[in-house]
Structure 1
Amino acid sequence: MNIDAQNLPAPTWPSLVSFSPNGVSVLVVIAGIGAVLYLLGVIRLRRAGRRWPIGRSIAFLLGCALLAATGCLGVHAYAEVLISALLFQQITLMTIVAPLLVLGTPGRLLLRATPHRGVGRTALRLALGGLRSRVSRVLVRPGIAILIAILLYPGLYLTDLVSLLVGVPLGHEVLLLAIFALGVVAAVPLWSSDPVPRPPSFAGRLVEVVVEIQVHAVLGLVMLLSAAPLFSAYDVTRDGWAIDPMRDQIVAGTMMWTYAELPLLIVLIVTLSRWSKRDAKLASRRQTQDEIDLEAYNEYLASLEGGNTKDARRDSGRTAT
């Protein structure tokens, strides 16, 4: 654990949300590079006279801003001594930052803005090769998001693996990078409108969201109802602090029931709405096709009736003759 983190003053709201001099995460560098590359792509499209939706740009850049804030504000330093601060980082990365970045559709921007010659052509080949690879096909399979949620919540906290990771040098940093990467992977099937090898069905998305909600609820309930601290690395009472390990754990459990669940509830509502609209469109198309088929059938019957009438008249004329 970082020595500076052990000497932190008692946490206050200003200290948690202000810039921390106790170390900056590599997440800040990733956010800066991502934002610059994204803006360069948008500028290139604009210069070529092609439009790019402003909403996507806002979503991606906001995601980059929150990614940087997660790695440089006071909450980053306190995450080594407060389980609630670490869980806040994890929830933010997985349920806020990752969806915002995915909603920015950086893959589609890459395909549109990258030049098709020189280095750009090589970059496009690599991107398309990665998209079509077996790894990509596996990562977007139904159930991967559920597996990631189980590994990064019950698997990480209920086994106290989190204490082992934050207790080694750079363990906190490696943990955040893993959480961020897996959060993006889990967000793609739920939020992405980029081309993916196997677009998930609405039913699959619905199952994933419902299971993730249950995973968050179970972990939060365990934290709230536990009679003793669950995490050995955070079971330290500090003089002069108004928050002890048990209160810290209760705050973390409360966040699992509130902060972690709200984005998933939004996904649930959006998924149900899109599913309903899709079914309504399909029903309308089927109804239109049925009407076309019925009209064609009626015309066919009318032609038969017209043919029979002509034959009857012809036979009648022959009889009269």
Structure 2
Amino acid sequence: MLPPPTPENLVAFWPVGVSVVAPIAVVLAVLYLLGAVALWRRGRRWSALRTISFLLGCGILFLTGSLGLNQYAEWLVGALVFQQITLMTVVPPLLIVGSPGRLILRATPHRGIGRVALRVAHGGLRSRVASAVLHPAVAIMVAAALYLGLYLTDLVSVAIALPAGHELLLMTFLVGGIVAAVPLWSSDPLPRAPSYAARLADVGVELQIHAIFGLVLLRTPSLLFSAFSSPPPSWSVDPLFDQAVAGTLAWTYAELPLFVILIVTLARWGRRDAKLAARHQPRHEADLEEYNAYLASLERRGSSSAGDE
């Protein structure tokens, strides 16, 4: 039996029972560093900020699956929701800002098996499946399914009771978060580039989903989840309080990354419009000068006609 979920136990490293997402984080970090180092050795540039962002995402992913919080997530819905928010809204943007797709294209040799791998990657990226999966509407469906659908129907209790059910949930959260975040964050070439208006609409709907989810958990006076209704008595944890903690996390922790996306999207939109305006400015000035010259010529003709009379 686990000891009581004190703050020290929640943040302690648990080498036994580490989630599968922890070794995945290590593998991703190693592969990324190998690609970045390969470029640096060839004298080719690769952003240190991108590297830091990706490695930070890997580090948070590793901690999510290796700290004591991971052990308690099968008993406390607040711990599971914290893991979910981290895997869906915190880790994916950090990984995507690292531009791993662009790194693969630059670091992979364009001969031998590397050439084959690049062709497969290009083919997959241009496929109809990729275009459909990366549609902005999919991000909304993912958020609705993994927050409202999973919890408000108590499917989460069914899933976590399955053998390796917790691991399955964590992997689903991570993959769903990446799929939802790519259209919003990626600077790599995509089969479908959503407009800034579509991105803002996406973020707005996701904010509402988190708000509804959090409000339901906070305001419901009864227990919603059978799997989290009976924590060990020795812990002295009120399951209703635990449920309220999960709702508070949805209201606060889950919303912050989306507000960052909102600010970044507005900033990018403004920069794009400024560039377009600057690009069209010389043509506009030339047209204006031509028009002024035309008016001046008309004025000269009028003056000369008046003088002749």
1:84 is matched with 78
How many angstroms does 1:117 deviate by? 0.7
How many angstroms does 1:238 deviate by? 2.3
2:200 maps to 1:203: no
- Counterpart AA for 1:162: V
2:105 is matched with 111
Find the aligned partners of 2:117 and 2:220 in 1 and give their Cα distance.
51
1:295 is matched with 289
How many angstroms does 1:24 deviate by? 1.3
- Counterpart AA for 1:168: L
1:254 is matched with 248
For 1:178, which of 164, 172, 177 is the aligned residue? 172
Aligned positions, number:
305
1:142 is matched with 136
Over residues 297-321 of structure 1, what are the superposed CA-to-partner deviations in whole Å (9 max), with x where a residue is unaligned?
A: 4456778999x89xx9xxx9xxxxx
How many angstroms does 1:279 deviate by? 2.1
Find the aligned partners of 2:231 and 2:26 in 1 and give their Cα distance.
37
CA contact (8 A) 2:75 2:231 kept: no
User: Residues 21 and 36 of structure 1: is their aligned pair in 2 closer, same or farther, counting only changes over 3 Å?
Assistant: closer
Counterparts of 1:1-321 in structure 2, within 5 Å, are 7-299=1-293
CA contact (8 A) 2:136 2:180 kept: no
How many angstroms does 1:282 deviate by? 2.4
Give the structure with higher Rg (CA): 1
CA contact (8 A) 1:22 1:77 kept: no
Find the aligned partners of 1:51 and 1:130 in 2 and give their Cα distance.
26
2:136 aligns to what SS in structure 1? coil
Unaligned runs of 5+ in 2: none
Find the aligned partners of 1:113 and 1:305 in 2 and give their Cα distance.
65
Find the aligned partners of 2:267 and 2:233 in 1 and give their Cα distance.
51
2:234 aligns to what SS in structure 1? coil
Find the aligned partners of 1:50 and 1:283 in 2 and give their Cα distance.
33
How many angstroms does 1:104 deviate by? 0.4
- Counterpart AA for 1:18: A
Find the aligned partners of 2:152 and 2:86 in 1 and give their Cα distance.
20
Find the aligned partners of 1:95 and 1:70 in 2 and give their Cα distance.
13
How many angstroms does 1:141 deviate by? 1.4
CA contact (8 A) 2:76 2:231 kept: no
User: Residues 17 and 116 of structure 1: is their aligned pair in 2 closer, same or farther, counting only changes over 3 Å?
Assistant: same
- Counterpart AA for 1:63: G
Unaligned runs of 5+ in 1: 1-6, 317-321
- Counterpart AA for 1:8: L
TM-score, normalised relative to structure 2? 0.93
Q: Which moved more, 1:276-285 or 1:28-37?
A: 276-285
Find the aligned partners of 1:262 and 1:194 in 2 and give their Cα distance.
24
How many angstroms does 1:21 deviate by? 4.0
How many angstroms does 1:204 deviate by? 0.4
2:233 aligns to what SS in structure 1? coil
Over residues 30-83 of structure 1, what are the superposed CA-to-partner deviations in whole Å (9 max), with x where a residue is unaligned?
A: 111111110011011111111111110000001111111111111111000000
- Counterpart AA for 2:200: L
Over residues 97-131 of structure 1, what are the superposed CA-to-partner deviations in whole Å (9 max), with x where a residue is unaligned?
A: 01100110000001111100112111111111111
CA contact (8 A) 1:238 1:244 kept: no
User: Residues 237 and 25 of structure 1: is their aligned pair in 2 closer, same or farther, counting only changes over 3 Å?
Assistant: closer
Find the aligned partners of 2:236 and 2:268 in 1 and give their Cα distance.
46
Find the aligned partners of 2:275 and 2:119 in 1 and give their Cα distance.
36
Over residues 264-306 of structure 1, what are the superposed CA-to-partner deviations in whole Å (9 max), with x where a residue is unaligned?
A: 1111111112222222332333333211122234456778999
Find the aligned partners of 2:256 and 2:237 in 1 and give their Cα distance.
25
TM-score, normalised relative to structure 1? 0.90
